[in-house]
Amino acid sequence: MIKLTRPPEPAILCENAENWTKAMLELVEKYDGYNKIPSSEKEAALRNYRHDDIRNALRDSSFGKCAFCEGIPAETGFPEVEHFHPKSIYTDKAFEWTNLLYSCKACNNSKLNHDTQQEPIINPYDLDPGNCFTYTDIMMEAKAGVNHVIADKTISVCGLSAKRLFSARGAILVNFRAFEADLREALDDFYLARSTQNKMKRAAKINDALCTIEELAKPSAKLSNYCSYLLENSATYQEAKRRLQEYTDENM
Ligand SMILES: [Zn+2]
């Protein structure tokens, strides 16, 4: 989970949200409750929140990833437009732009009708999740601190430490360790270099290896919160950053 920035509301929603909401609330009244609306009528009244313009704007702002687990919804199933505050409880927010997120089916199903107002979870458009989570191998955990309770609730409600994410995190971890080994090799070569020219060449190699490993933690990369954690906790990465900085300072 990473911080997201909400783009401007799509025109289709600006123009129609009020009428769509009104029609939906009329159905709730007519059938005396959201859950009693016949499914065909409910679907007809609701389908517009998944309009392509809405889905695409959310997808782009979410870097094509699920706003909760940072998986690629297209890889794990059909991507969904998710209601942060569930539409079954907060039906008046069914077409509210700030209530919509891009999500994978698994997170959406796990979250289901969880009452986010009674028991808040992290909305990545509102709260920066960057400092909320930590990991033990491939398990996500809430970090100690002011956001511990909400982070812990987010993990359990969205299933962010569920088995479904193990293999994706495992694959990232394997990749990360391989890049880290390349970085270690580049560092060791750098320490062995004697001539100015060799030192320069090997510093460039460290720089290349750093760029490669940092790609994994870019916001557009899969599970980038996990990769950022791995980078922050990699002694080799920290050493390489420090050495390269020192070398650059000495040779400016
Ligand atoms: Zn997800």
Cα-to-centroid distance, 110 and ligand 1 (Å): 9
Please tell me the distance between residue 106's alpha carbon and the centre of ligand 1 in angstroms.
6
CA of 102 to the centre of ligand 1 (A): 9
In order of 24, 28, 109, 122, the CA distances from 54 in angstroms are: 18, 24, 20, 21
- List the chain pLDDT tens, one digit each, 252 residues: 999 999 999 999 999 999 999 999 999 999 999 999 999 999 999 999 999 999 999 999 999 999 999 998 877 667 899 999 999 999 999 999 999 999 999 999 999 999 999 999 999 999 999 889 999 999 999 999 999 999 999 999 999 999 999 999 999 999 999 999 999 999 999 999 999 999 999 999 999 999 999 999 999 999 999 999 999 999 999 999 999 999 999 987
Q: Give the pLDDT of residue 76.
A: 62
Q: Looking at residue 54, what DSSP letter applies?
A: H
* Helix or strand run (H / E) with residue 44: helix 39-46
> Given this model, what pLDDT does residue 78 score?
74
Give the separation between CA 145 and CA 119, rounded to whole angstroms.
Answer: 18
Calculate how far, in angstroms, residue 72's C-alpha sits from the geometric centre of ligand 1: 8
Q: How much is the pTM? A: 0.91
Residues 6+ away with beta carbon under 8 Å from 60 = 7
Residues 6+ apart with CB under 8 A from 204: none
Residue 66 CA, ligand 1 centroid: distance in Å: 5
Distance of CA 21 from the midpoint of ligand 1 (Å): 27
Strand residues in 94-233 grouped as ranges (E): 100-103, 133-136, 139-142
